[in-house]
Structure 1
């Protein structure tokens, strides 16, 4: 095997090592935010493993994913359902293939906002989508989080 064949593998390793560093940073922040749950948070490193490598393409997206999971750990919530960051990635992929209807665009805006990602025009429109079709967005959110659930993440 020559070096050119190894380069993609090296990049994957680099992304994983960077993800481990980011996960450790988010764990440290979560312990400061939720000191009462420190023992559980310190044991949650494996929960932060990305189920999809696309989570590692953006540090903002991966950090949002980690923050949500660590919040769930600290509050005793179920860690298996998809995170808002995972929902954003799924909706981004869907939007590349087909146009999003109003409710799906509203879900995308809601997930973007929940993930705490940097402001974008879509996030600014979240309340407008909510006013038009909040009930359907609620249903879509439950379905998408369920579809993105990771049974190993508990």
Structure 2
């Protein structure tokens, strides 16, 4: 699956030689939050490859890693409104084909963003700090 995504990213970005995308394979190691969810792992790989192609930092957690972490928290107990807001936001940002069912009316999502958006921002920032992968550096 990783090889397929690398090939697709190389095609999308016109990489002909053995460039940054071709060399990104080692960055695609499973991280605990996404390892047991194939669609999340694929979204994780795609996001990392897009970061590599754009020359962006690959160490911060991907949306898939953040979503997996929030989801794992939901197993412990009901999500609070800020966590639910963050989960809805992250679900909406998953690439096409990797989306998961979200039976929530757009108006509800907008209301959550309006009321709990700043708390969700802080939660995302905190999770990013916790889930950043210092080892995940191209090259």
With the shorter chain as reference, the TM-score category is: 0.7 to 0.9
More helix by share: 1
Q: Is the 8 A contact 1:65 1:115 kept in 2?
A: no
How many residues in Structure 1 have an aligned counterpart in Structure 2?
132
1:142 and 2:125 correspond? yes
**Distance between the aligned counterparts of 1:77 and 1:28, measured in 2?**
19
Unaligned runs of 5+ in 1: 1-21
SS at match of 1:44: helix
Higher RCO (CA-CA < 8 Å; seq separation 6+): 2
Deviation track 1:51-94 (CA, whole Å, cap 9, x = no partner) reads 21x52323211110001111111111111111111111111111
* Among 102, 119, 133, the residue aligned to 2:101: 119
Give the equivalent residue in structure 1 for 2:54.
75
Instruction: Tell me the distance in 1 between the aligned counterparts of 2:28 and 2:109.
Output: 27
Aligned residue for 2:22? 42
- RMSD across aligned positions (CA): 2.1
